[in-house]
Amino acid sequence: MMALYDFVLAPFVDFGFMRRALLGACLLTLAASPLGVFLMLRRMSLTGDAMAHAILPGAALGFMFFGLNLLPMTIGGLVAGLLVAFGAGAVARLTVQREDASLAAFYLISLAFGVVLISVRGSSVDLMHVLFGSVLALDSGAMGLIGGVSLVTVVAMALLWRALVAECMDPLFFRTVSRLGGFVHFAFLGLVVLNLVAGFQALGSLMVVGLMMLPAAAARFWSARVGVITLLALGFGLLSSALGLLASYHWALPAGPSIILAAGVIYLVSMVAGRRGLLSTRPQARHRTA
């Protein structure tokens, strides 16, 4: 029992930075995992990854002028993410190019531009900080940002829940019978960008989308009901945060990637052993739509 306490609880009881890291990751999970569910159901999983990269040049511009300062980097990342999201949408509507192709082009340009900016202005340490985050060094400003974004996201998703589910089930029908179709779509994209910007302070622009998508993808192997998938994704995200931080503490691993690897292990186990996974005795359940 004592060994279990030393391994699981002692790191969080004895060290304030571990408690802050766990709280920050859990707050991020409360908003990011449900968003990941709807990204997955909308078949927009790679959109989240693209948007995570798209915030980099804005954060890099904030870094160039103000250093590793939370507010300028956050504002810059938010503006860059929104510009890429709406720019890709505009290109898809005004040209022959599909939205996925235009989004890929925009995010690749943004990623390369952001890395160049940070490399020119800073050092390799600064670049690693922005790309992979510093969840073990969250300060009160970062915690306040993550907490505020999580609160806004949870409230917004509660208000838009039925509309989001309806749009996932049949987007064309929903837009036909409701004038809220366009508003819900862009509000949802705005929430995704907002959470990616808040999360990159903790997990970095390359890792933050992992906490959004991997728990959601793992939960899909256990249920076909949206509400159940969302709750499972939330649970998997919280568990990944705790396991990843413990692995980081005990084996001196980078904290952000450890959290994502923990989520990856949960995904692989779910893929094999889930009710709709590879070992399911009801193969038809694996192909039933949510």
- Pairwise CA distance, residues 271 & 107, whole Å: 29
Task: Return the ∠ at Cα 31 (arms to 25 and 34), rounded to 5°.
Answer: 120
Q: Is the pLDDT of residue 284 over 70?
A: no
DSSP 5: I
Q: What region does 98 belong to: left with phi over 0, alpha with psi -120 to 50, or beta?
A: beta
Annotated domain spans of the chain: 2-287
**Do 138 and 67 touch, CB atoms closer than 8 A?**
no
**Do 207 and 134 touch, CB atoms closer than 8 A?**
no
The pLDDT score that the predictor gives to residue 290 is 46
**Do 43 and 163 touch, CB atoms closer than 8 A?**
no
170 three-class SS: coil
- Pairwise CA distance, residues 102 & 192, whole Å: 18
More confident residue, 188 or 90: 188
DSSP 283: G
Structure confidence at residue 62 as a pLDDT band (50, 70, 90): confident
Q: Between helices 16-41 and 208-220, what is the axis angle to 10°?
A: 60
Mean pLDDT of all residues belonging to the chain: 84
pTM: 0.86
- Pairwise CA distance, residues 205 & 199, whole Å: 8
The pLDDT score that the predictor gives to residue 106 is 78
pLDDT in tens, 110-161: 878 877 877 776 666 566 666 677 888 888 888 999 999 999 999 999 999 9
**Do 197 and 55 touch, CB atoms closer than 8 A?**
yes
pLDDT in tens, 172-204: 667 676 777 778 878 888 898 889 888 877 887
Does domain 2-287 fall into CATH 3.40.50.300? Answer: no
